[in-house]
Structure 1
Amino acid sequence: MTILCVRFQLPPMYEAALPGLLGLLEEFTPVVEALPPDGALADLRGAERYFGRSAVELASVIRVRALARYGVDCVIGAGPGPMLARVALRDARPGVTCAVPGQPDAVAKFLAGRPVSALPGIGAATARTLREYGLDTLGLVAAAPLSTLQRLIGAKAGRELREKAGGTDRGRVVPNAVSRSLVAERPFGIDELNADRHRGALLSAAEEIGARLRAVEKVCRTLTLTVRYADRSSTARSRTLKEPTAHSPALTGTAYGMYEALGLQRARVRALALRAEGLAPAGQASHQLTFDPADEKVRRIEEVADRARAKFGPRAVMPGALAVADGLSWPTAA
């Protein structure tokens, strides 16, 4: 086993601790890929030789250090490749690393009885299509004729699925920098069912991210919404913006759109988080002119509000919905 897939069990308000936890992994290997909001992949090929320990043994050390330094437990899956490590993570438990054997026959046996949806990247629609034709496990998919799979889900997708179902993992860990993102988290004091309060939290988070981006003269290309529920599960959705921006109304509209698309009905929400990703210098971003005087006016007001916040504090200027919201004390800018 060479690759670890680590998911840190972060409380809702601790998502900002992820960069520090990634630094912990980088003590063992420089090849670390962040998987926001709470995970990472780590390639331990060099570390196994250097430390003279297996990936599973190193996983135990990582778990102990995360607990000792940050008070954060984690679950870890290990495998010969990133895909297999992610599959193993589904069976991992705190204190027990789930490892996929390295031998091809053992890998195929490990995968055979698992549902198709266990593979990363296989969505509900693809899994449903395969189930309709009796291909509900990875073992059945691996044994199916390639032509059948290609007819059902497409030539390229069918070929890749058959390879993955048979245990072929061509993926690799791609080092990235979680610091190229900004996150704003909004935990609730109680498990919140009120959709208006959910939207208030999103408005506050979007306002904060917009102000922080403008303060460092950056724009973002992608916005990710993470919803954490009372049962500690979570849902994450990402959306690419029409153009890179730090404009708070554009960020708010995108956040609302992702929230509405989830179709939450009386969901007990413990926390909401927005992450701005794909950051770039504002001076290099293009803005589509609209010739709309209202849009230009809003942007000028935003500039004035930023100057007021810089002088008098983050709550000097805020949307009226946040100013009158009962029980909401989140800042509008960091």
Structure 2
Amino acid sequence: MTEASGGVLGECVVAEDPAGVLYLRFRRTAGGPPDSAGYTGLLALLGAFTPVVEAAPPDGALADVGGALRYFGRDAQGLASVIRVRALALHGVDCAIGAGANPMVARMAARRAAPGTTFVVDRGEEAAFLAPLPAAALDGVGAATARTLCGYGLDSVGRIAAAPLATLQRITGVRTGRELWERARGIDRTRVVPNAAARSLAAERSFPRDELSPEQHRRALLSLTEELGARLRGEGQVCRSLAVSVRYADRTGYATLTRSRTLGEPTAHSAALTALAYRIHESFGLQRARVRGIALRAEGLADAGLASRQLTFDPADERSRRIEEVADRLRERFGPGAVKPAGLAA
């Protein structure tokens, strides 16, 4: 396992690099994730090195660079350095990059990489890299599964890897047990699936220090949904789904969880966005988590004029939408801070 700082490394001859997958986390030098246009540009930048690029919005991407390593004659650290320099020069974005033999290891390695560095896990070193990590740090293990595993003394990835497969399957189920057993050994059967960045809008709130209060987390989400709702309505757009990303402190540093859900119907109604954002956030189960930032991305954008809306015959809903229209007009005239929900009042 090696870590390298930014800077283009010298040429090296690579026969077959064992770390052929990169996971990149993008951060603007001014702070926060890139905007939608910047994110699309970064994916295009990666496309100049490999056609196998998988978007992981709002601030990440997977790239299978096995062929690129041979073509450019560099190892994973060298190629990552070239990508980082171009991202910084062309888009004002720095990258924390993890490199591994498969997507899971690359994602987990990226959590150990600070901005401007690459953390490489070479093939054959996956078990040693994963073993000391807590069970909750294993890719794909949520809070509920981690609590179940810890209840049986399987509180680290190394202990999960050492447990008999049959034991894991009795505890978590046949399929989940098999997946845990393989992942704890660094085995990931998924592949990088090329896709395009969906049209989206994103916003983020960062806390000046690790924030423990769930009320402050919900306040940040309310602020984000109000902002995105107003932007969507201003542009005549609706969204089909929301993705919530929470960056929080754990034993390995800072980790990011992202989940998305589809709305009942395409909408730009702030109340509907807020309700879904709250449900996604609650599904993380991060009780007393030390949260540093929350990001929200509205995905699957479409023209509001072409979207259908289900009539509810709910007077409260109709009243809420009329108030929203008035608030939008006031914000347009007096500025974005002219009208705020009561939950955001100072």
1:319 aligns with 2:343: no
1:107 aligns with 2:126: yes
Equivalent residue letter for 1:279: L
Q: Distance in 2 between matches of 1:140 and 1:192?
A: 30
Equivalent residue letter for 2:130: L
* Alpha carbons 1:201, 1:272 under 8 Å: kept: yes
Compared CA separation, residues 40 and 248, structure 1 to 2 (3 A): same
CA drift at 1:39: 1.9
Aligned equivalent of 2:181:
162
Of residues 50, 62, 86, the one that matches 1:65 is 86
CA drift at 1:42: 1.0
Compared CA separation, residues 13 and 5, structure 1 to 2 (3 A): closer
* Alpha carbons 1:56, 1:99 under 8 Å: kept: yes
Provide the TM-score with structure 2 as the length reference.
0.73
Q: Distance in 2 between matches of 1:234 and 1:166?
A: 20
Stretches of structure 2 that go unaligned for 5 or more consecutive residues are 1-18
* Alpha carbons 2:27, 2:33 under 8 Å: kept: no
Aligned equivalent of 1:331:
none
Equivalent residue letter for 1:277: E
Deviations 1:190-232 (A, max 9, x none): 6697998876664453233223334555432332344668999
Q: CA RMSD in A?
A: 3.9
1:153 aligns with 2:175: no
Deviations 1:103-147 (A, max 9, x none): 4xx434443444333321112322232233233333432332222
Of residues 27, 32, 47, the one that matches 1:26 is 47
Q: How many residue pairs align between the two structures?
A: 319
Aligned equivalent of 1:243:
265
Compared CA separation, residues 291 and 155, structure 1 to 2 (3 A): same
* Alpha carbons 1:226, 1:234 under 8 Å: kept: no
Q: Distance in 2 between matches of 1:267 and 1:305?
A: 34
Alignment identity in percent?
A: 56
Q: Using the TM superposition, name which of 227-236 and 69-78 deviates more.
A: 227-236
Q: Distance in 2 between matches of 1:28 and 1:264?
A: 41
Of residues 279, 294, 312, the one that matches 1:290 is 312
1:7 aligns with 2:7: no
Q: Distance in 2 between matches of 1:150 and 1:230?
A: 30
Q: Distance in 1 between matches of 2:288 and 2:318?
A: 37
Provide the TM-score with structure 1 as the length reference.
0.76
Stretches of structure 1 that go unaligned for 5 or more consecutive residues are 327-334
Equivalent residue letter for 2:168: L
CA drift at 1:44: 0.7
Question: Any idea what SS the aligned residue of 2:112 has?
Answer: coil
Structure having the larger proportion of residues in helix: 1
Deviations 1:85-104 (A, max 9, x none): 1122233345542222224x
Q: Distance in 2 between matches of 1:82 and 1:143?
A: 22
Q: Distance in 1 between matches of 2:302 and 2:193?
A: 20
